[in-house]
């Protein structure tokens, strides 16, 4: 489903007015894994992309159970959205015509395969900035469900026309 | 269970967590609570709204596993992930933490901390962060 303007504004790096997010995946046996991610963007209005900086457990989980949830963490400013959908990691070496959920891996990797060059993390404080940005691929989630995570409306579907 | 350091406790209590749950066949659902209370060195408690309970109670009844990522500014400053078993009593969610990981970007992402000696974890934290919790 397509994201609205407010969501696309939120799903950017913090330096461009966006938010840090948490990405939750889980093993096939149901052991969840929740990690903060700061290199994030929206592609073609309905895919959320995150730089894969060697997210080990995330990769193992997505390889056996390709579904994820992305929740905005900070700053939130009322943007209490939870995005769920099929997810995978796209990286160089896939067949040239490889597609995931209707999008070509080559298109995503061409634009976002070198995140450090496209969006250098200049706004990240030195004590939490990785010494070298090493990207392995692009975590790609196609949004199929958007819900509210605020305590009073937890689980309610969000109308993207707002 | 895993013993949390003062810094880990302060961040969890001060900023709450994004709480990952999953059905027994691996479909995740996340709730977010912005404060928490440590019950002891390894158990954290969250107050849930009726809607939050409704959202995760089925998952937790069939699969008690939960993952916690610190919320708010903790998502940036408190680079930890906590995992454990959870249960609901009344409107409270308890998580008994069994595993603690560093999520600090770079070579220490995914480093398991609860397997280290407790004093070594304290040294690890002191050498990497200047704070002992969220701003007061």
Contact A30 B26 (CB under 8 A): yes
Chain A partners within 8 Å of B23 (Cβ): 30
**Residue B39 and residue B82: Cα distance in Å, rounded?**
15
pTM to 2 decimal places: 0.96
Tally of domains in chain A: 1
- Model confidence pLDDT, tens digit, residues A100-140: 999 999 999 999 999 988 888 777 777 777 777 788 999 99
Residues 6 or more apart whose CB falls under 8 angstroms from that of A134 comprise A53, A54
Residues sharing a CB contact under 8 Å with residue B89, sequence separation 6 or more, in sequence order: none
**Complex prediction ipTM:** 0.97
Query: Which domain does A111 fall in, by range?
Result: 5-152
Contacts of A97 (CB under 8 A, 6+ apart): A104, A106
Chain B residues with CB-CB distance to A155 below 8 A:
51, 54-55
In the stretch 97-136 of chain A, residues with CB closer than 8 A to chain B read 127-132
Count of helices and strands (H, E) across chain B: 4, 7
Q: Is B63 on the interface with A (CB under 8 A)?
A: yes
In this structure, is residue A159 part of a structural domain?
no
Residue A37 is assigned to a structural domain of this protein: yes
| C-alpha R_g of chain A | 15
Q: What is the CA radius of gyration of chain B?
A: 14
Residues of chain B with pLDDT > 70: what percent? 100
Which pLDDT value is given to residue A126? 72
CA B105 to CA A153: how far, in whole Å? Answer: 32
A38 touches chain B (CB under 8 A): yes
Pick the CATH number of B6-124 from 2.40.50.140, 2.30.110.10, 3.30.1060.10, 3.40.605.10: 2.30.110.10
At residue A162, does pLDDT exceed 60?
no
Residue A22 sits in a domain of what CATH number? 2.30.110.10
Per the omega criterion (within 30 degrees of 0), is the bond before A75 cis?
yes
What is the mean predicted confidence (pLDDT) over B62-82?
A: 96
pLDDT tens figures, A29-67: 999 999 999 999 999 999 999 999 888 899 999 999 999
CA nearest to B75, candidates A55, A24, A38: A38
How far does CA A58 lie from the centroid of its chain?
A: 12
From the candidates B32, B66, B95, which should be mutated to test the interface with A, based on the most A CB atoms within 10 A? B32
């Amino acid at each position: 489903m397509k994201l609205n303007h407010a969501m696309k504004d939120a799903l950017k790096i913090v330096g461009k007015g966006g938010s840090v997010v948490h990405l939750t995946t889980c093993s096939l046996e149901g052991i969840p894994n929740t990690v903060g991610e700061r290199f994030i963007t929206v592609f073609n209005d309905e895919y959320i992309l995150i730089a894969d900086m060697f997210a080990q457990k995330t990769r193992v989980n997505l390889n056996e159970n390709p579904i994820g949830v992305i929740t905005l963490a900070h700053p939130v400013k009322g943007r209490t959205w939870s995005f769920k959908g099929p997810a995978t990691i796209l990286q160089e070496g896939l067949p040239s015509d490889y597609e995931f959920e209707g999008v070509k891996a080559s298109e995503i990797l061409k634009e976002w395969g070198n995140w450090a060059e496209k969006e250098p993390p200049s706004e990240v404080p030195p004590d939490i900035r990785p010494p070298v940005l090493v990207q392995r691929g692009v975590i790609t989630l196609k949004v199929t469900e958007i819900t509210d995570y605020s305590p009073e409306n937890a689980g309610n579907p969000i109308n993207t026309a707002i | 269970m895993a013993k949390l350091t003062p810094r880990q406790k302060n961040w969890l209590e001060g900023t709450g967590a994004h709480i990952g749950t999953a059905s027994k066949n691996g479909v995740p659902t996340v709730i977010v609570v912005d404060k928490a209370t440590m019950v002891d060195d390894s158990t954290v408690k969250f107050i849930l709204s009726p809607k939050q309970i409704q959202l995760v109670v089925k998952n937790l009844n069939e699969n008690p596993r939960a993952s916690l990522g610190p919320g708010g500014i903790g998502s940036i400053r408190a680079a930890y992930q906590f995992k454990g078993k959870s249960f609901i009593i009344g409107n409270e969610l308890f998580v008994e933490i069994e595993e603690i990981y560093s999520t600090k970007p770079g070579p220490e992402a995914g480093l398991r901390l609860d397997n280290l000696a407790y004093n070594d974890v304290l040294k690890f934290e002191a050498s990497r962060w200047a704070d002992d919790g969220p701003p007061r």
